[in-house]
Amino acid sequence: MIIEITNIVAGLILAMGILPSIPVLGKSLEKVAKWLGRFQTIIGIIAIILGVMYFGLQGIVAIIAGLILILGLLPSIPAIGKDLAKVVKWLGGFQTIIGIIAIIIGIWGLLA
């Protein structure tokens, strides 16, 4: 259950740009996502750790979302940080799509 909630939270931060276009809930979700965005690095680290612990579909989505959230920290990782940062910057181009997928996968996991 924790990995699903983590995916939803990370997805909200990643998909913040399109949240206002959701009828009725959009403005409220945007406010929540902006508030959560202040903790994006911490949420990213937690998502990666939980993604490794609960490896599977939920875990893979959490790892990808977490890597995008901690993009600023990646170059400081010895040996692989700069190369990893390049890959994650490319993934960042799909940030909104990945955010939507993370939200859907997280909700799907809670309902299953």
With bands split at pLDDT 50, 70 and 90, how would you rate the model's confidence at 85?
confident
How many independent structural domains does the chain possess?
Answer: 1
* Domain extent for 31: 2-111
User: Token pair of 95, please?
Assistant: 């940030």
Amino acid at 74: L
What percentage of the chain reaches a pLDDT higher than 70? Answer: 100
Instruction: For residue range 10-58, list pLDDT tens digits in order.
Output: 999 999 888 888 888 888 888 888 898 899 999 999 999 999 999 999 9
Pick from 37, 10, 14: which is nearest to 92 by CA?
A: 14
Q: What pTM value is reported for the model? A: 0.86
What stretches of 8-98 adopt beta strand conformation (E)? none
Within 10 A of 93 (CB to CB), how many other CB atoms are there?
10
**73: pLDDT strictly greater than 80:** no
Check residue 6 and give its pLDDT: 96
